Structure 1
């Protein structure tokens, strides 16, 4: 038993360690967030409820079948039509089976089933909206983590460079080749680099915490974010199509527009349901039953089973209900429905307008960020080269530590701008692709 417990513990620790060392790609984070998001889980329940409503609405067209049994006794005196007062003690009962079905009501039951189907689809579309909003948040947070991690790594390199300068300054001062002020300047610069490193590290942890919260992931410290394939795929893409060419696909993959269109279809069905109130309703019914009567103290009273057999009867009936006046309710309900259609139309136009504006902004951001990234890459390479010459001059004693610090600070600033431009370009292109294709993977090309 102890060996079994030990094996289970070791296995659990192994799984936990493997999970903690997992490198999370963007697709992994999005999938995990969707699977563990409570509003989406709640929406799954609402979808299941609407599916049951849909099933019940379809079954409304079937006959309603029920059985009945009634029994009652009467005790006391009563007076007949001739004025004779006599004792009237008896027992009555009836039992049977009846069925009722709606034969006609302007296709009310069929339209009711259609409405339930459309409402079920609306809950599915609402789930798509929740997934879309969550995906956008996760993507943005994920890229913010990548950006902050890149800045931390760049600042770590700056610290290593400052450590080398400090070591060189201390050695140079020890042999009297440099003034003590050079060491103090190197130490001060190293402290500033460490301070900046801590700031970047703080921002990286905050970005990781935000991502973990969107994912509903319990321990953000163990969240290792790394997706080298993502950047390689994104920067391979070129979008040569104009915004007007991308709009139809974006509209098609917009779940908000799909939900609004579904609501318009529901209103069409709702109008038919309202109009049904002005049409006759025809119901058919059939029943099989029997009765029993027993007047107490009457000689030769027939037995229960004999009498119920003799009184057995069937009945078929048709009932017609004709509406005459409902105080104008139908007319006003249809007017309300037309107003709601106009409202949905305006909401759809507003959503399309926002979608176009988002596409225009993302495409502009991508073009500008891409150009900025290309320019900052060239600037970084040139600044790197300048720092290399400054370092050689410092080692030869021809440049002061202030000169090399200036070159190093220029390089850090240039690298920071290059990293930010890179991830701004990455974010804009990824978001543009997602808005058009509805997919964070680049299986659906938009170029």
Structure 2
């Protein structure tokens, strides 16, 4: 029995370890998916959409008749009105009344129908607002994710530079011991080595800060973002994108949730005008009711109180009627509301044009930046290759005494800067490339 328990415990620990290990590595799509399921701001947008859905459903239910039942009961003391004779009596008695009421609007200037359409467009706007936030959140996560990738790359570059400095330091110590170099060279090497150790500490701190920022946007508990799986690849040429940017905009503007949200708000503003104008028209309501009651004072010729069931039947009354309300003068209030509703519509129309303009210039600028980043990446890559060769040459010249330590360290520093710039440019290109995929209707995280 004990051996079985140990085996089961061992299997359980392996399963837990496998589960923990599975959470150590995060791809970009996994980060975005987790954020969409756990980000608190996204949850608020979901709640807004649900409330808009409730409003849309209620606007349809408002077309149904209203129905209510009321009942009252009580005992009267002292001078009271007899509910049967309407005379004044001084007798204590019990009284009960019941009613069933119903009403339905037959016409109110089509206000209810326009409210249904208004609520539908508001629901659409709320839904597009949530989708637009999803898109913004996905790209926000992407930026934070590539920040982590960048600082991981920076840490690796600094570590490699630190290894070179350590190698140079040890070699210089050997050369000083043999009389080939001066002690001043060792001081410069030592200073560079210590400076790069500090740079490594700072880079590692920046990496941890980037991880915390990514985890915050994902609403991920601290310490669970162990390792990032980078999907960064070599940039490719996209020369033909500039030629197709106008057609790309024409297709994207039809599906952009940002634009669709503003268009839904415009449609809602148009229906709001129709709703307000409905107050100019008469309102017609149909009403019906059934009433009955019971009282101790309702007696027969022998003075015996009629039974409850007999009184309910005998006192039953029905009513069916209609009411018409015609607006005549309302201190110009309706007219002012109509004017305000038109101004809201004009404002919504301007927002539609503004959203289309924003999307157009963002698309054009992102296309331009994608091409510029590719050219910059190609040139920076050539610079890195040249600086690597220059460092090897400088290292040999330094060993031969042809250059001093300052010149060697300058070439080494230039190589480090070029490597960092190459890393940054490649990641920036990757982000812009994903933006262009999005403009093509591809949500890369789905």
Structures share a fold, TM > 0.5?
yes
Q: 1:117 to 1:339 in 2, by over 3 A?
A: same
Unaligned segments of structure 2, at least 5 residues: 82-86
- Long gaps (5+) in structure 1: 80-84
1:33–1:238 distance in 2 versus 1, CA, 3 Å: farther
Q: Secondary structure at the match of 2:329?
A: coil
Map of 1:366-405 to 2, 5 A cutoff? 366-394=370-398, 401-405=405-409
Which residue of structure 2 aligns with residue 82 of structure 1?
Answer: none
CA-CA distance at 1:371 after TM superposition: 1.0
- C-alpha deviations, 1:7-34, integer Å up to 9, x for none? 7983785266325522x22222222222
Contact 1:284/1:317, CA 8 A, preserved across alignment = yes
Tell me if structure 2 keeps the 8 A contact 1:118–1:262: yes
2:282 aligned partner: 280
Question: 1:196-253: per-residue Cα shift (whole Å, max 9, x none)?
Answer: 333333332332222222222222574322222x435x64766524443332244334
**Is the Cα contact below 8 Å between 1:387 and 1:404 reproduced in 2?**
yes
Q: Aligned match of 1:337 in 330, 338, 341?
A: 341
Query: Cα distance 1:343–1:8, how it changes in 2: closer, same or farther (>3 A)?
Result: farther
Q: Could you tell me whether the CA contact under 8 Å between 1:114 and 1:269 is conserved in 2?
A: yes
The answer to whether the 8 A contact 1:74-1:88 is kept is: no
Q: 1:87 to 1:407 in 2, by over 3 A?
A: closer
Verify: 1:42 aligned to 2:44, yes or no: yes
Residues 19-74 of structure 1: CA deviation (Å, up to 9, x unaligned): 5522x222222222222211221222222222222222211122222223345666
Aligned-pair distance for 1:76? 6.3
Deviations 1:360-398 (A, max 9, x none): 332222222211111111121122223333444555666
Partner of 1:417: 421
What is the distance in 2 between the residues matched to 1:204 and 1:258? 38
Q: CA deviation at 1:402?
A: 4.6
Give the Cα–Cα distance (whole angstroms) in 2 for the partners of residues 77 and 368 of structure 1: 97
Contact 1:25 1:227 survives alignment (8 Å): yes
Aligned to 2:84: none
CA contact (8 A) 1:365 1:428 kept: yes
Name the SS of the counterpart of 2:179 in structure 1. Answer: coil
Q: Is the 8 Å Cα contact of residues 269 and 348 (structure 2) preserved in structure 1?
A: no
Q: Which residue of the partner structure matches residue 272 of structure 2?
A: 270
Q: How far apart, CA to CA, are the structure 1 residues paired with 2:406 and 2:79?
A: 124
Greater alpha carbon shift after TM alignment, 258-267 vs 277-286:
277-286
* 1:218 alignment counterpart: 221
Task: Output the CA distance in 1 between the equivalents of 2:308 and 2:198.
Answer: 101
Q: Which residue of structure 1 lines up, in the alignment, with residue 134 of structure 2?
A: 131
1:442 & 1:344 partners in 2: Cα distance? Answer: 31
2:109 to 106, 110, 122: 106
Aligned residues: 435
Determine if contact 2:73/2:94 at 8 Å carries over to the other structure.
Answer: yes
Structure 2 partner of 1:240:
241
* Corresponding residue SS for 2:191: helix
1:257 matches 2:259 = yes
SS of equivalent to 2:233: helix
| Cα distance in 1 between the residues matched to 2:70 and 2:192 | 95
Could you tell me whether the CA contact under 8 Å between 1:94 and 1:289 is conserved in 2?
yes
**Structure 2-normalised TM-score?**
0.84
1:353 corresponds, among 357, 360, 367, to: 357
CA contact 1:253–1:437 (8 Å) conserved in 2: no
SS in 2 for 1:123: helix
